[in-house]
Structure 1
Amino acid sequence: MMCCQFIFKPGTYDDDFHRLDGQIADYARALPGFVKTETWTAPEAGLVNAIYYFQDKESVAELARFPRHREAKGQVERWYDGYRIVISEVTAGYGDDRLPGNPLETHRTTP
């Protein structure tokens, strides 16, 4: 499983941002390898972490090739006061199953 994190400090959003953001999110969710999204905030730092989980690298590459995604990447400085991308391969995950929406439910491994 792949985990793609977009960590950013929000700036000023406009109509172009909202249009592209919606199109990218819809496209990502329609990919066959899409698993789920999560969003975390760090209010003390003013940061947001939008996390997308995919079953495979091919789905991540397909999202990266999406024309609206490429368009948004070219304008990132318009909307954010800084950002970082972290793409990781998840090799294991475990817990006590009391938290909802475990992205590893179908990929469960034993620690």
Structure 2
Amino acid sequence: MYLVTFRLAPGEYDAEFHELNDAIQAAAEDTEGYLGKRTWHAPDDEEVLVVYYWETLDALESFGADSDHERAKRRWTEWYDAYEVTVTEVVEAYGSGFGEDANPFV
């Protein structure tokens, strides 16, 4: 499994951002190998972390080639003050305490 962590400092969002964001999410969900996402908002500032879960690196790369996703990457300065993407391969995942929600993507 692969995790893509998208860390962002939001800027100003307009209608075009929301339309493009919705199209990108739909493209992710339509990509074979997409497992889901989780979003966290920092309590002390506006920073947001979105973690996307992918079954394989090929699935992630397929999504990365989506035309809407490519367009959004070129235009990031219009909507974000800053962003950072980290791609991580999961070697092992374990734990307890979250019940049925412990690891919903595996």
TM-score by length of 1: 0.88
Whether the aligned pair in 2 keeps the contact of 1:53 and 1:103 (CA below 8 Å) is no
Deviation at 1:46, TM superposition (A): 2.1
Tell me the residue number matched to 1:102.
103
Cα distance in 1 between the residues matched to 2:37 and 2:23: 15
Cα distance in 1 between the residues matched to 2:92 and 2:54: 14
Deviation at 1:39, TM superposition (A): 0.3
- Kindly report the root-mean-square deviation, in angstroms, between the aligned alpha carbons of the 2 structures: 1.4
Pairing of 1:4-23 with structure 2 (within 5 A): 4-23=4-23
Distance 1:87 1:103, change over 3 A: farther
Deviations 1:33-63 (A, max 9, x none): 0111100111314210111100000111011
Cα distance in 2 between the residues matched to 1:32 and 1:68: 17
Deviations 1:56-85 (A, max 9, x none): 001110111000000000110100111100
Tell me the residue number matched to 1:108.
none
Tell me the residue number matched to 1:109.
none
Number of residues of Structure 1 aligned to a counterpart in Structure 2: 105
Gaps spanning 5+ residues in structure 1: where?
A: 106-111
Deviation at 1:16, TM superposition (A): 1.1
Cα distance in 2 between the residues matched to 1:13 and 1:55: 30
Tell me the residue number matched to 2:84.
84
Cα distance in 1 between the residues matched to 2:104 and 2:90: 10
Deviation at 1:97, TM superposition (A): 5.1
Distance 1:21 1:101, change over 3 A: farther
Question: Runs ≥4 in structure 1, deviation > 6 angstroms?
Answer: none
Cα distance in 1 between the residues matched to 2:97 and 2:32: 25
Cα distance in 2 between the residues matched to 1:39 and 1:13: 17
Cα distance in 1 between the residues matched to 2:93 and 2:22: 30
